[in-house]
Amino acid sequence: SQQGEEDPQALSIQEGENATMNCSYKTSINNLQWYRQNSGRGLVHLILIRSNEREKHSGRLRVTLDTSKKSSSLLITASRAADTASYFCATDGKGGGADGLTFGKGTHLIIQP
């Protein structure tokens, strides 16, 4: 079953603008992660935020987590053409169970030069 759902499904912005994408999930989590996937490639881990954290930064990335709303957002500042990719959120969602992460369907981000 799908745990995380990203919104929007697709996003097109101009280079230099900020990109924001959201993720909603259904059950309690220990952590939430964001991954990037370039077309036809594997996923690359971007950032992990734990359930007791509200905000985390990594370079041009900022992730927020609101456990009361069961939602997270990923902000990419000063976007570049190389940021064009699909972005997925992933949750454990099973109280630390050992059966892997559950991924959403992703947001396809296009950065126009």
Partner 1 sequence: DGGITQSPKYLFRKEGQNVTLSCEQNLNHDAMYWYRQDPGQGLRLIYYSQIVNDFQKGDIAEGYSVSREKKESFPLTVTSAQKNPTAFYLCASNIGAGYVNEKLFFGSGTQLSVL
Binding site for partner 1 (CB under 8 A): 1-2, 4, 30-31, 33, 35, 40-45, 48, 88, 90, 92, 96-106
Closer residue to partner 1 (CB): 18 or 57: 57
Q: How far is the CB of 70 from partner 1 (least distance, A)?
A: 17
Residue 47 main-chain phi, psi, to 5 deg: -165, 150
Closer residue to partner 1 (CB): 42 or 113: 42
Closer residue to partner 1 (CB): 19 or 23: 23
Q: How far is the CB of 16 from partner 1 (least distance, A)?
A: 28
The answer to whether the beta carbons of residues 74 and 23 sit under 8 Å apart is: yes
Torsion, Cα of 100, 83, 10, 34 (10° steps):
20
Q: How far is the CB of 21 from partner 1 (least distance, A)?
A: 14
DSSP notation for 39-71: TTS-EEEEEEEETT-SEEEETTEEEEEETTTTE
Closer residue to partner 1 (CB): 4 or 19: 4
Q: How far is the CB of 108 from partner 1 (least distance, A)?
A: 9
Sheet holding 61-66, edge to edge: 5-7, 19-24, 71-76, 61-66, 55-58
